[in-house]
A = this chain, B = another copy of it.
Amino acid sequence: MDKAAQVTIDDFIEKMGLIAQADGIPRIAGKVLAALVIYDEPFSFSQLSELLQVSRGSISTNTRVLVNLGIIERTTKRGERQDYFKLKESPYVSLMQGIQTRTAHTARVISETKQRLPAELSGAQQRLTEMQQFYLKLNRTIKSLT
């Protein structure tokens, strides 16, 4: 592995950590994802711990997060005790499904509020309707991506 490529990879891992963090996902989870994008699968538990310079406990919790999100999956190698990880088939679609769940929840909160408030609060009703329409549209759009 030449030096320049290694710098690029380290940089990518670092940046994906920050991007994940901005998206509300733990930084280390973002780094794990980046590592699995770069390095050919399967990539082992201890390799991740060593590569990212992070405790085994953190690898354990963060890989679990990614598995639950449907982004990576755990595999094994015959004759090896270690766990290995690889990207799932369509990892980003799973990511979107998580986001879609949240927009659906927001739309529901708005809808319930609207129904419970008296019609006389016409200003509030109108603004809630606008808000609701936006989130429903957003939700449908994200659904169409999956």
Contacts and interface: CB of A to CB of B under 8 A. Distances in A.
Contacts of A134: 92-93
Contacts of A2: 118
Given A37-B124, A37-B127, A145-B137, A15 B117 contact: no
Interface residues of A, number: 44
Where chain A touches its partner, the secondary structure class is helix
B39 A124 contact: yes
Interface of A: 2, 4-5, 8-9, 11-12, 15-16, 19, 22-24, 37-40, 87, 92-93, 96, 102, 105-106, 109, 113, 116-118, 121, 123-124, 127-128, 130-131, 134-135, 137-138, 141-142, 144-145
